[in-house]
Chains A and B, each alone.
Chain A
Amino acid sequence: EAGVAQSPRYKIIEKRQSVAFWCNPISGHATLYWYQQILGQGPKLLIQFQNNGVVDDSQLPKDRFSAERLKGVDSTLKIQPAKLEDSAVYLCASSLASPTSGGRETQYFGPGTRLLVL
């Protein structure tokens, strides 16, 4: 079974530029997550989708970050314009479980995209 794919793996941009990250979840996984992981910290959830609908984007800085999941499969996360403090690893994860149901849920993470904003 193929895992969660992300690209690019690394990106270096200057502040005020824009950048986009791509994620392809595990086949059949309805729920998709984007996390931000700043160096030395645990991942922080930015947004979660169920199929192509946003379930929770309360932690997404909407003035500069946007995300979409067209057709309920692949997803893109965009930052425009980038700030120095956006330097981090952006992780995508997917799961079979619904984010609105209790019980067990295992999330499968991709390798992440490491962003450096200069």
Chain B
Amino acid sequence: DAKTTQPTSMDCAEGRAANLPCNHSTISGNEYVYWYRQIHSQGPQYIIHGLKNNETNEMASLIITEDRKSSTLILPHATLRDTAVYYCIVRVLTTSGTYKYIFGTGTRLKVLA
């Protein structure tokens, strides 16, 4: 029961910005949005997270809409090494009172030379 919807795949030219959208229309007020990426044969790697405000770090920027129903991960200058599957994740509160990540199927980003 994924809480996020992402495009299956996207292409981006090397050096250009990659904009990866995510829909999380059922997100609750205190649930954070996380982005991870997974390069082939490796474990997922943390990129960025946010609650309400836009966030930026050395890897990427995260833009969250005012209603929090969607967000966009921006890689400002994509390189070939950014080719990976990108997961938009919501950290949800379960009925047992614990929090856990709910992964969707992710977006396969291919950066083209």
Chain A interface residues (CB < 8 Å from chain B): 4, 40-45, 48, 55-56, 58, 91, 93, 99-112, 114
Contact = CB atoms under 8 A, between A and B. Distances in A.
Contact of B43 (A101, A103, A109): A109
A58 B45 CA distance: 25
Interface of B: 2, 30, 32, 34, 36, 41-46, 49, 51, 87, 91, 93-94, 96-101, 103-106
Contacts of B101: 43, 45, 107
Contacts of A112: 41-43
Given A41-B105, A103-B32, 20 more contacts: A40-B105, A42-B87, A42-B106, A43-B44, A43-B103, A56-B98, A58-B94, A91-B43, A93-B44, A99-B98, A99-B100, A100-B97, A100-B98, A102-B99, A104-B32, A105-B91, A109-B36, A109-B43, A109-B45, A114-B41
A110 B2 CA distance: 22
B46 A111 contact: no
Contact of A44 (B30, B34, B36, B103): B103
Contact of B46 (A4, A42, A108): A108
The 7 closest A-B pairs by CB, nearest first: A42-B103, A109-B43, A99-B98, A109-B44, A56-B98, A43-B103, A55-B98
B43 A110 contact: yes
Contacts of A108: 46
Contacts of B94: 56, 58
B46 A105 contact: no
B99 A100 contact: yes
B8 to A, nearest CB: 10
Contacts of A44: 103
A101 B104 CA distance: 23
